[in-house]
Chain A
Amino acid sequence: MTLLTNSLKAVLISSLAAAPAVVMAETAEEKGLRIAEEAKASDLGWKDMQAQMNMILRNKQGQESVREIRMKSLEIEDDGDKSLSVFDKPRDVKGTAFLSFSHPVGADDQWLYLPALKRVKRIASRNKSGPFMGSEFAYEDLSSFEVEKYTYKFIRDEACEGGNCFVVEQYPVDKNSGYTRRVVWLDQAEYRPWKIEFYDRKDSPLKTLTYHEYKEYEGKHWRPDLMKMVNHQTGKSTDLTYQGYQFKTGLSDSDFNKNTLKRAR
C-alpha cells in the first residue's frame, strides 16, 4: 500500500515537474533526447572501472553454459570508452582478450588477442548485432551508452520497479544495428534503466532486458549486479552478473594498448 501511494505521489510530482516543459511546448523527441542527455550526464565522472562479469547462457531446454570475463574500462572525455576484457571461461578461450576503443559515431576500433597463436588481430567492428560469445547479448547491448547513438521519443511516464519511470523509445542511428527500436524504462530519480524491450529489424518483439539489484558506487554511479536478457523468438536467455565493482583505481591510457592486450590474462 505504501508502495502504491509512493508511486502515485511520484507520478503526481513528476507530472507537476513536467508541466513547465509542456508549457514550453517541448516535443516528445526533444524530451526523449533531454532525458538521454541527463542520464548520460548523471553518470559522468566514473573515470575508470574494473569488474568481474559472469554469464549463464540457457537454451530452450534449460541447459546452461558459463562465461567468465574480467573487464577494465576507462572513461574518455568527448569520446567513447576504452575497454579491455579477458576471458577465463569457457576454458578453450581462456586468455583470449578483447580491446575496444568505442566511438559515439562511426566504427569502434577493436582488437582480439589469440593466446594459442600469440596473435593480435584487428577485427571489423561492424558486427554490432552479432551475439556476444553465443549469448543473448549482442555486442551493441554491451557497449557504452552514448547519446549520439540513438534518436529519441518520449512515450509516457509509468510506475516501474525503480519508482516512477520515463518510457522512452530509442532508434539506433547505426544502420548495422540489429534493432529498429528499443523501448527503455528509466527511473526519474537516478536515470537508471530498469527494462529495455528490443524490436528486431522487422519491428517484431525480440528480447527483453531487465536490471536487478542496483548498488551505488562513489556516491553517484549506480550499477546492477544482475541483468537478465530473454529472447522471445528463440526461448533462450542469458543472465549477466557483475561482481567486485571497483571505481577510480587509477587506470590510464597506458593500460589500454596492444601490449596490455597481449598480457591481459
Chain B
Amino acid sequence: MNSQKLLPWLLAAGLTTALPSQAETYYEMSGKVTADLRYFTQDGQFANQDYDTNLSFTVEPEFYWEWNDGADTLTFTPFLRVDENDNERTHADIRELSWVHIGDDWELRTGLRKVFWGVTEFQHLADVINQTDGVEDFDGEDKLGQQMINLSLVKDWGIVDLFLLPGFRERTFAGEDGRLRAGLVVDTDQAEYESGAGENHLDTAIRWSHTIGDFDLGAYWFHGTNRDPKLVARNINGKTVLVPYYEQMDQIGFDAQATIDSWLWKLETIHRDTSSENYWAAQAGFEYTFYGIQDSAADLGVLLEYGWDERGEEADAAVQNDLFMGARITLNDAESTEILGGISHDLDYDSQSLIVEASRRIGDSWKVSVDGRFFSADDQADLSYNFRQDDHLQFTVERYF
C-alpha cells in the first residue's frame, strides 16, 4: 500500500472504532467568506499582467463534531478561492480534515492538518511541516493541509510530537495571468522529485518543545521532502517554463523566545542538508511593546529582526542578509483596530519592501482591512526584482458566520 492511501484508511479505521455509540455528538459549524480587491499602481512587467485591478472571493467553512465527552473530535475545513484573473489562484484545498483522540497525557491527531512552529514575525524559517499555498499571498503565511499521523505526548520535561507524514503537497504558484510572480511561469504539472517514491514519500519528524521560566524552547528533526522546490528552467513545447524539483532533506531546527517584561527576544535557526547543498540559516530579533501610550488604551509594539542565510547571494531564498523593522499599533478598542507597518531591507541587493496593514471589526460579524505593499528593487539578481511593478493596495471585507 503506498503511503498516500495509508492515511484515509487509518482515518476511517480509527473513526469507526471511536465513533459514538449513542447520539452524544456535539456539532457546530462556523467559518468565513471574504472578498478582496487588489489595485495595482501600474501594469505588470511581464506578459499577461496588463491589468490594474483584481477581484477575488474565498469561502472557508468549518464543520466540527465532538463525542465521548470531548475525547474524540472531527474537524473538516474546506477552502475555495475564486480569482478574477489567475486560473492558478482559483483553487480549492482541504485545510483540515482530522480526527483527534485525546488521552490523559497524550493526543493522537490523524488526517489533513496544519502545524505551526516558530516565534519570529517577518519570516517563518523553522515552520516546516506544511507546504506554502503560494498563490494566496506572497508572504508565505498561508499553508496547505498536510496528511499526517501525529502522536503528541505531554511529559514533565516538555511536549514531544512524533509525526508520520504520508504524502506530499506541491507548492502552488501564480499562473500566466497572475501578478506577483517571476518572469518565467512555474509549470506545476511538470513537478519532479529526487525520491523514487515521488509525492508518496513517507516523511517523518520529531519535535520537543518546553517552557522553562521566561523561555519557550523548541527543537526538531525533519526527514523527508523539502517543501521549498528548486526551480529549474526547462523548454516544454517550445516554451521556457520553470519546473519545481523537490529534493529530499534532513533538517534540524531550533526556536526560542525569551519573554522578559515588555521584551520578546526571538530566535529561529535551521540546518538543512540536501544532496545539492547544506547550510545554516537564522532569523532573530525582538519585539518591545509600549503599553498605554500617551495615557490612552493603545499599545505600540516595535519589532526588529535580522534574517541570515549561510549561502549568501547564492541562496534561492528571499531572505539571506535582510533587516526587518516594524511597528504595530493596537488601539484595544471595541472594534479591535490595528495598524501594522513593516519595512524589509535587503543588505546585499539594497532593495526594500514596505508593507502596511490596517484592520478593524464592524459589528459582531464583519471585519474590514486595507493592506498596502510596495517594492523597490533594481538588481536583476534580486528575487524581489520580479515584483518591482507589483505595488498594490488590497481592500478586504470578511464576513464571519
Q: Which chain A residues have a beta carbon within 8 Å of chain B's beta carbons? A: 57, 59, 65-66, 89-94, 107, 109, 117-127, 129-131, 134-135, 176, 178, 254, 257-259, 263, 265
Q: Which residues of B contact A265 (CB under 8 A)?
A: 64
Q: List 21 A-B contacts (CB under 8 A).
A: A66-B364, A90-B364, A90-B400, A91-B32, A92-B365, A92-B367, A92-B398, A109-B211, A117-B116, A118-B115, A122-B264, A123-B264, A124-B289, A127-B292, A129-B291, A130-B299, A131-B297, A134-B336, A258-B159, A259-B154, A259-B159
Q: Quick check: B292 and A129 within 8 Å, CB to CB? A: yes
Q: Which residues of B contact A131 (CB under 8 A)?
A: 297, 332-333
Assess whether B204 is interfacial by the CB under 8 Å rule.
no
Give bound CA distance, A119 to B266, whole Å: 15
Chain A nearest CB from B116 CB (Å) reads: 4
Q: Which residues of A contact B263 (CB under 8 A)?
A: 124
Q: Which residues of A contact B314 (CB under 8 A)?
A: none
Assess whether B102 is interfacial by the CB under 8 Å rule.
yes
Q: Which residues of B contact A130 (CB under 8 A)?
A: 291-292, 297, 299, 332
Give bound CA distance, A254 to B332, whole Å: 32
Q: Quick check: B291 and A259 within 8 Å, CB to CB? A: no
Q: Which residues of A contact B73 (CB under 8 A)?
A: 263
Assess whether B131 is interfacial by the CB under 8 Å rule.
no
Beyond known contacts A124-B259, A127-B289, A134-B332: 20 more, CB 8 A cutoff: A65-B334, A89-B364, A90-B336, A90-B365, A91-B364, A94-B30, A94-B400, A109-B211, A117-B141, A118-B114, A122-B259, A125-B259, A131-B332, A134-B335, A254-B104, A254-B154, A258-B159, A258-B211, A259-B154, A263-B102
Chain A nearest CB from B185 CB (Å) reads: 29
Q: Which residues of A contact B141 (CB under 8 A)?
A: 117
Assess whether B261 is interfacial by the CB under 8 Å rule.
yes
Q: Quick check: B361 and A90 within 8 Å, CB to CB? A: yes
Q: Quick check: A124 and B262 within 8 Å, CB to CB? A: yes
* B216 to A, closest residue via Cβ: A122
Q: Which residues of B contact A258 (CB under 8 A)?
A: 159, 209, 211
Q: Which residues of A contact B119 (CB under 8 A)?
A: 121
Q: Quick check: A124 and B367 within 8 Å, CB to CB? A: no
Q: Quick check: A91 and B261 within 8 Å, CB to CB? A: no
Give bound CA distance, A107 to B159, whole Å: 23
Chain A nearest CB from B203 CB (Å) reads: 18
- Counting chain B CB atoms within 10 Å of each CB, the highest count among A65, A134, A254 belongs to A134
* B367 to A, closest residue via Cβ: A92
Q: Which residues of A contact B291 (CB under 8 A)?
A: 126-127, 129-130, 176
Q: Which residues of B contact A134 (CB under 8 A)?
A: 332-336
Q: Which residues of A contact B335 (CB under 8 A)?
A: 134
Q: Quick check: B159 and A257 within 8 Å, CB to CB? A: yes
Give bound CA distance, A119 to B289, whole Å: 20
Assess whether B138 is interfacial by the CB under 8 Å rule.
no
Assess whether B252 is interfacial by the CB under 8 Å rule.
no
Q: Quick check: B400 and A92 within 8 Å, CB to CB? A: yes
* A63 to B, closest residue via Cβ: B334
Chain B: interface size category: 35 or more
* A126 to B, closest residue via Cβ: B262
Q: Which residues of A contact B333 (CB under 8 A)?
A: 131, 134
Q: Which residues of B contact A93 (CB under 8 A)?
A: 336
Assess whether B43 is interfacial by the CB under 8 Å rule.
no
Q: Quick check: A91 and B297 within 8 Å, CB to CB? A: no
Assess whether B277 is interfacial by the CB under 8 Å rule.
no
Assess whether B228 is interfacial by the CB under 8 Å rule.
no
Question: Would you list the 8 A-B pairs with minimal beta carbon distance, nearest first?
Answer: A91-B400, A134-B334, A119-B116, A127-B291, A118-B116, A118-B114, A131-B332, A122-B216
Assess whether B97 is interfacial by the CB under 8 Å rule.
no
Assess whether B107 is interfacial by the CB under 8 Å rule.
yes
Chain A nearest CB from B29 CB (Å) reads: 11
- Chain B contacts with A in 49-105, Cβ cutoff 8 A: 64, 73, 100, 102, 104-105
Chain A nearest CB from B77 CB (Å) reads: 10
Assess whether B251 is interfacial by the CB under 8 Å rule.
no
Q: Which residues of B contact A120 (CB under 8 A)?
A: 116
Choice from B30, B259, B292 contacting A91 with Cβ under 8 Å:
B30
Assess whether B351 is interfacial by the CB under 8 Å rule.
no
- Chain B contacts with A in 298-344, Cβ cutoff 8 A: 299, 332-336
Q: Quick check: B334 and A259 within 8 Å, CB to CB? A: no
Assess whether B257 is interfacial by the CB under 8 Å rule.
yes
Chain B nearest CB from A85 CB (Å) reads: 16
Give bound CA distance, A259 to B209, whole Å: 11
Can you list, as one digit per residue, whether each of B363-401 has a CB less than 8 Å from chain A (1) or not (0)?
A: 011010000000000000000000000000000001011
Q: Which residues of B contact A257 (CB under 8 A)?
A: 154, 159
Q: Quick check: B100 and A263 within 8 Å, CB to CB? A: yes
Q: Quick check: B364 and A65 within 8 Å, CB to CB? A: yes
Assess whether B152 is interfacial by the CB under 8 Å rule.
yes
Q: Which residues of B contact A107 (CB under 8 A)?
A: 261
* A134 to B, closest residue via Cβ: B334
Q: Quick check: B292 and A124 within 8 Å, CB to CB? A: no
Chain A nearest CB from B239 CB (Å) reads: 37
Chain B nearest CB from A110 CB (Å) reads: 9
Give bound CA distance, A94 to B152, whole Å: 24
